[in-house]
Amino acid sequence: MSVSIKDIARAAGVSPSTVSRALNDHPRISQATKARIRQLAQELGYTPSLPARSLVTRHTATIGMVITTAADPFLARLVQGVEETAEKNGYSVFMSSSYRNAERELEVVRAFHERRASGVIITGSQIDDGYLQLSSQFPLPIVLINCRAYPYSVYVDKLSGARQAVEHLVQLGHRRIAFIGGPHGHRSNLDRFAGYRQILEENNISQNDSLIFTGEGTIESGIQAARHMLTIPQPPTAFFCFNDLTAIGVIRALQQAGAEVPRDCSVVGFDDLEMASHYCPSITTVRQPTHRLGQRAISILLELIQGNSNLQPERLPAELIVRESTGPVSEAGLKPYA
């Protein structure tokens, strides 16, 4: 189908190797033929076959990226960070989605390996350090994002982020602070919870299990969480949410129940999506350095590709962004069954 190096050779009356040399500007070739062949290649619409080339060079210049879902707002600057550095080093980045499904995640990694990608970056992994066992099955460099159990990874210090968030609430006078968690058992969720507990403890606030809710990190689950909290005898005066989507759901449900944020109740999110600064009220949240996260991930991957395996998980700081959704604890607070 596609025009090959042989077609050009035939058209130019030279051997295929000469064409190859012309196209890769090999030193040992005359300027004249080089120009002539390049011209011809252009005219014939020649595009080199990377599969064929990679067979001999053992290099596909391809980075695979496993994402959770195409529309995850968390990805915007992350992917950009990865692409910038990748491109600078001659790699192309291709994404495929796992839908947070372990089986599919493995399938995608396998797909990348079958295509002999140079390496893979995975976000939202369901496998985690399971890749250590699978390393014989997938003998290609893998870097995980936000999975600190795996040695080749970058992660954001969510513990510290959570601590800053809850500390902020405590300083505003809140003592009944709800924790609206994400998918159960996940590291990132555990870190947030740990930070939450630490700050409560450091401030001599006894933990109240009825203020703990396990959600899914969606708007919908935030709505459910808030509605539930409105049914308990002593509703919280503040919510610390797994992420901004959850926070949006919580705010939405509180407003529907007639409460005002932050007057009657404070809400903190996590991620700092674009929406967070534009929502009404704008949302106090914990920002992850997503662009840098991508940059570091690809940098580590490139190191790995070059054979440097003497690496450790890398930690990046999180930062609390205070906006309108948090305020001093109110006298009134939420009324149950509001």
Residues near DNA (CB under 7 A): 2, 4-6, 13-18, 20-21, 23-24, 27-30, 32-34, 46, 48-49, 52-53, 55-58
Q: How far is the CB of 168 from a copy of itself (least distance, A)?
A: 24
Look up residue 2 and give its two tokens: 């596609």
Site string for a copy of itself, 159-198 (x = CB under 8 A): ----------------------------------------
Site string for a copy of itself, 277-306 (x = CB under 8 A): -x-x--------------------------
143: β partners: 121
For DNA, the closer CB: 35 or 70: 35
Cα end-to-end span (Å), the chain: 69
- Edge-to-edge strand list for the sheet holding 266-268: 212-214, 177-181, 238-241, 266-268
3-state helix, strand, coil in the chain (%, to 5): 45, 15, 40
Judged by CB under 8 A, which of 54, 160, 198, 330 binds a copy of itself? Answer: 54
* d(C-alpha 101, C-alpha 67), whole Å: 11
Residue 20 binds a copy of itself, judged by CB under 8 A: no
Instruction: Write b or e for each residue in 160-183: b if 16 or more Cβ atoms lie within 10 A of its Cβ, otherwise e.
Output: bbbbbbbbbbbebebbbbbbbbbb
* d(C-alpha 144, C-alpha 157), whole Å: 15
Interaction partner, residue 17 (DNA, a copy of itself, none; CB < 5-8 Å by kind): DNA
Residue 69 binds a copy of itself, judged by CB under 8 A: yes
* d(C-alpha 18, C-alpha 30), whole Å: 10
The letter for the amino acid at 128 is D
Dmax (CA) for the chain in angstroms is 90
Residue 263 binds a copy of itself, judged by CB under 8 A: no
H/E run at residue 153: strand 153-156
Site string for a copy of itself, 191-230 (x = CB under 8 A): ----------------------------x---x-------
Contact 236, 266 (CB under 8 A): no
284: β partners: 268
For a copy of itself, the closer CB: 139 or 185: 139
Q: How far is the CB of 2 from DNA (least distance, A)?
A: 7
For DNA, the closer CB: 33 or 198: 33
Q: Reduced to 3 states, what is the DSSP secondary structure of residue 67?
A: strand
Nearest to 85 by CA among 295, 290, 307, 289: 295
For DNA, the closer CB: 89 or 207: 89
Q: How far is the CB of 23 from DNA (least distance, A)?
A: 6
Using the contact rule CB under 8 A, the part of the chain among 47-55, 146-154, 170-178, 180-188 near a copy of itself is 47-55
Q: Reduced to 3 states, what is the DSSP secondary structure of residue 52?
A: helix
Using the contact rule CB under 8 A, the part of the chain among 17-25, 165-173, 244-252, 263-271 near a copy of itself is 244-252
Interaction partner, residue 4 (a copy of itself, DNA, none; CB < 5-8 Å by kind): DNA
The letter for the amino acid at 56 is V
- Interacting residues with a copy of itself (CB under 8 A): 1-2, 45, 47-52, 54-55, 58, 60, 62, 64, 67, 69-76, 78-80, 83, 92-97, 108, 110-111, 113-116, 136-139, 219, 223, 248-249, 251-252, 255, 274-275, 278, 280
